[in-house]
């Protein structure tokens, strides 16, 4: 009987099981949808993130850096091509590579010194006898500096020319610096020596020319970079400080992207504007020199003493210049002569692109990028970032190749070319794929210099992604601090008080064009971020890591002085990778519109405090702007609530897609291609660059400053116009966040 019951029970169970199986899989509707139903509701997998974090390896990053920095890899040189090959090899590796990787070339306008006629700066006495010649190459401390491919220090896009004149000291070369100097010294025919900082590189020459200055020198003052240290035995290779002969190279143009093809991708047959129509480049020759030589020149200058704020670290008084040298100087009556042989050339520069195809939403892109080109070996700039990127792609690529993981959305990796010449590769990419990228890109993550120093994380971003950065940073251990997260370490170094969140780490804004995020932010309006590890500001005043853009930015330097053990690199890779995975995998995009509202409110409050009173006198009301920001806040609150109260994993996948589209496209609502008539590459009305230097809406701040200075009614009209542009952009953004219909 027991046996029969047992048999009956087993039979019944078997039949039931068959029934369940038929019911679950056998009925068409369910069975055919089951496959994709799982797929479309897939969310970020925390255990996968843990796995990713554990796989990110500091030694791999170190080895990447070693390989990338074997030779100088300035844009379009043989060394650059070598790095192209490294990227392609890695990303096309069948076991650790991406789904697909390729190269994209642009023909771009670059500027080089002539290796056969090196640029020269000399102090010349009567009859042009050289009394002092500025060093042509940086001093060799390691074999790196002896590499014949090290490019002579120069100012890219400085015109060639042979100006000669009495030397003057013009501090940082800002408009007010030249104005002040001109009050004392007749600047016509002079050569001005300036120090880095305060004004853009090219601006130092652009600001000088109207005063009749015929040539400009620029150097890095030890005060600004070396915490005052300047002797050979205190600097690299003895410390991280800049050696006396080190020279910061750089691009001296003002606008980002290829200059001959504005707003068009620089393909071979693209129309190019005449060279004479280029704007924003030095009108007179300019050349960077080391502080060793600057010391010789400045300390011999005659004339009145420059103001205290102009004084640097040299053990002499910085005088304006007589113009020219002191009567007591060996250089007395001498001129400074510049012989600049730079030439411009259209050359092919490559981006290397790689993708991992998304599973559920391949038409949504998370883009992660960094430039590949350096000035010399570029261990920190940019290869620290590239080493990190290669480690990310190794870890993620391996998981993809092993079938362990595929992101919900597509990931695009970009290794940009010719960034050092003015963000060229990334800009041309955004111009070529403008529509596709605008429509589909969820976010752009930029990790250029991954590690400036090993104290703390630093992030600049649209406010809507601060939270995902925080989430990621909380899951990563701070280098060298076992029980402290990157987040907790960061908040200790830099924080602010948020009305919503209390004390949180301070995230900067991407209002400038300092790296390849520029075109993504300002031209495409894509939610972006820039991540790095950086200084303890209580320990150094260095403007940037001291050997920036010099021949000393080498693997040796990076591994000895910036990040021994590569633990900060690892922390950045883990944090940025974590953010990347969350953006790619989350069911609901980790983009928070209420955090955007808080930033708009901050900007509004500042604007009201600064401008409202005087605007009233001109009959310009700020009420519409206030209402717009309030609309935005209320729409953001509403959308947050919809997200919070929806069971999105079980509702139609078109609902979460709809919400994600609202989040993805939020920044696009702030674009207005007509907002800034003088700088069409800036279309984002919240984050455009600004010269007014106020922490508020950039176009409003600039228009206001301009009107206040001119006092003209037509300039106040421009303030009113921009207020309307801004108001409608914010209202328009609010419209996109409310219920879709």
Closer residue to its own copies, CB minimum distance, 329 or 662: 662
CA gap 98, 529 in Å, rounded: 23
* Minimum CB distance to its own copies, residue 609 (Å): 21
Question: How many other CB atoms are there within 10 angstroms of residue 365's CB atom?
Answer: 26
Closer residue to its own copies, CB minimum distance, 106 or 154: 106
Q: Cα dist. 143→45, 139, 174, 378, 442 in Å? A: 47, 11, 38, 15, 44
Those residues whose C-beta lies under 8 Å from the C-beta of residue 418, and which sit 6 or more positions away, are: 75, 76, 106, 108, 110, 349, 371, 373, 424, 425
Closer residue to its own copies, CB minimum distance, 334 or 631: 631
CA gap 14, 29 in Å, rounded: 24
* Minimum CB distance to its own copies, residue 634 (Å): 16
Those residues whose C-beta lies under 8 Å from the C-beta of residue 58, and which sit 6 or more positions away, are: 565, 566, 567, 569, 570
Closer residue to its own copies, CB minimum distance, 46 or 268: 268
Q: Which of 419, 420, 431, 731 is catalytic?
A: 419
Question: How many other CB atoms are there within 10 angstroms of residue 315's CB atom?
Answer: 7
Q: Write the DSSP assignment of 8-50 as a string of letters.
A: HHHHHHHHHHHHHHIIIIISHHHHHHHHHHHHHT----HHHHH
The beta strand positions in 28-115, using DSSP E, are: 100-112
* Minimum CB distance to its own copies, residue 398 (Å): 20
Please, what is the Cα angle at 226 between 195 and 281, to 5 degrees? 30
Place of tokens 């400053």: 705
Q: Would strands 335-339 and 120-124 be described as parallel, antiparallel, or unpaired?
A: antiparallel
Q: Write the DSSP assignment of 634-663 as a string of letters.
A: HHHHHHHHHHHH--TTTS-HHHHHHHHHHH
Those residues whose C-beta lies under 8 Å from the C-beta of residue 505, and which sit 6 or more positions away, are: 457, 459, 470, 473, 487, 490, 491, 494, 495, 496
* Minimum CB distance to its own copies, residue 672 (Å): 8
Take residue 48 and report the two structure tokens written for it. Answer: 């996968």
Closer residue to its own copies, CB minimum distance, 473 or 723: 723
Q: What is the dihedral of CA 716, 717, 721, 727, to 10 degrees?
A: 50
Closer residue to its own copies, CB minimum distance, 461 or 669: 669
- Tell me if residue 731 is catalytic: no
CA gap 518, 422 in Å, rounded: 10
* Minimum CB distance to its own copies, residue 251 (Å): 24
Closer residue to its own copies, CB minimum distance, 149 or 439: 439
CA gap 547, 585 in Å, rounded: 39
Closer residue to its own copies, CB minimum distance, 48 or 721: 721
- Taking the alpha carbons at both ends of the chain, their separation in whole angstroms is 68
* Minimum CB distance to its own copies, residue 576 (Å): 21
Residues classed as catalytic: 419
């Amino acid at each position: 009987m027991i046996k029969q019951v047992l048999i009956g029970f087993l039979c019944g169970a078997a039949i039931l099981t068959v029934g369940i199986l038929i019911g679950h899989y056998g009925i068409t509707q369910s069975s055919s949808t089951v496959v994709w139903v799982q797929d479309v509701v897939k969310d970020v997998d925390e255990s996968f993130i843990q796995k990713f974090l554990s796989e990110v390896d500091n030694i791999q990053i170190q080895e990447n850096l070693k390989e990338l920095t074997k030779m100088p890899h300035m844009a379009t040189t043989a060394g650059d091509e070598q790095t192209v090959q490294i990227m392609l090899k890695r990303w096309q590796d069948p076991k650790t590579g991406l789904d697909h990787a390729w190269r994209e070339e642009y023909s771009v306008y670059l500027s080089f010194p002539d290796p056969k006629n090196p640029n020269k700066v000399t102090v010349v006495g009567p009859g042009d006898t050289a009394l002092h010649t500025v060093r042509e190459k940086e001093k060799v401390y390691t074999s790196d500096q002896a590499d014949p491919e090290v490019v002579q220090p120069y100012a890219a896009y400085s015109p060639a020319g042979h100006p000669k004149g009495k030397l003057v000291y013009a501090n940082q070369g800002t408009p007010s610096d030249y104005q002040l100097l001109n009050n004392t010294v007749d600047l016509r025919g002079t050569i001005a020596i300036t120090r880095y900082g305060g004004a853009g590189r090219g601006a130092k020459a652009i600001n000088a020319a109207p005063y009749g200055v015929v040539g400009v020198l620029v150097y890095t003052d030890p005060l600004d970079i070396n915490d005052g240290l300047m002797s050979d035995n205190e600097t690299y290779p003895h410390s991280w400080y800049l050696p006396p002969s080190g020279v910061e190279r750089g691009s001296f143009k003002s606008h980002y992207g290829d200059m001959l093809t504005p707003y068009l991708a620089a393909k071979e047959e693209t129309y190019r504007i005449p060279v004479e129509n280029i704007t924003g480049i030095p009108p007179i020759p300019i050349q960077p020199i080391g502080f060793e030589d600057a010391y010789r020149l400045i300390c011999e200058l005659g004339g009145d003493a420059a103001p205290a704020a102009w004084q640097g670290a040299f053990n002499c008084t910085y005088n304006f210049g007589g113009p020219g040298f002191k009567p007591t100087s060996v250089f007395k009556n001498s001129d400074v002569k510049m012989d600049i042989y730079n030439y411009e050339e259209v050359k092919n520069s490559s981006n290397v692109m790689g993708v991992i195809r998304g599973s559920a939403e391949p038409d949504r892109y998370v883009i992660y990028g960094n430039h590949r080109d350096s000035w010399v070996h570029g261990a920190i700039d940019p290869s620290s970032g590239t080493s990190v990127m290669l480690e990310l792609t190794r870890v993620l690529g391996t998981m993809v190749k092993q079938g362990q993981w595929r992101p919900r959305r597509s990931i695009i990796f970009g290794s940009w070319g010719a960034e050092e010449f003015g963000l060229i590769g990334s800009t041309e990419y955004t111009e070529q794929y403008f529509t596709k990228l605008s429509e589909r890109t969820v976010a752009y993550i930029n990790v250029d210099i991954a590690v400036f120093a090993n104290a703390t994380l630093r992030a600049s971003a649209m406010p809507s992604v601060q939270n995902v950065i925080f989430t990621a940073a909380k899951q990563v251990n701070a280098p060298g601090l076992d029980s402290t997260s990157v987040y907790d370490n960061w908040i200790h170094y830099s924080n602010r008080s948020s009305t919503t969140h209390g004390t949180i780490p301070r995230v900067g804004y991407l209002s400038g064009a300092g790296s390849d995020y520029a075109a993504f932010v300002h031209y495409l309006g894509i939610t972006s971020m820039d991540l790095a590890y950086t200084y303890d500001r209580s320990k150094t005043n260095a403007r940037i890591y001291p050997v920036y853009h010099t021949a000393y930015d080498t693997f040796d330097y990076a591994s000895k002085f910036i990040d021994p053990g590569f633990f900060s690199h690892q922390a950045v890779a883990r944090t940025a990778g974590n953010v990347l995975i969350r953006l790619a995998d989350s069911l609901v995009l980790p983009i928070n519109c209420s955090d955007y509202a808080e930033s708009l409110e901050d900007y509004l409050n500042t604007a009201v405090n600064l401008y409202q009173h005087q605007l009233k006198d001109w009959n310009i009301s700020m009420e519409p702007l206030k209402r717009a920001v309030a609309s935005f806040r209320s729409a953001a609150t509403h959308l947050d609530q919809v997200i919070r109260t929806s069971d999105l994993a079980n509702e139609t996948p078109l609902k979460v897609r709809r919400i994600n589209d609202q989040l993805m496209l939020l920044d696009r609502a702030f674009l207005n291609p007509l907002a800034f008539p003088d700088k069409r590459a800036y279309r984002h009305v919240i984050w455009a660059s600004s010269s007014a230097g106020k922490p508020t809406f950039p176009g409003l701040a600039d228009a206001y400053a301009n009107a206040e200075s001119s006092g003209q009614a037509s300039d106040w009209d421009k303030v009113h116009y921009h207020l309307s542009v801004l108001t409608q952009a914010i209202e328009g953004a609010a419209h996109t966040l409310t219920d879709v219909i």
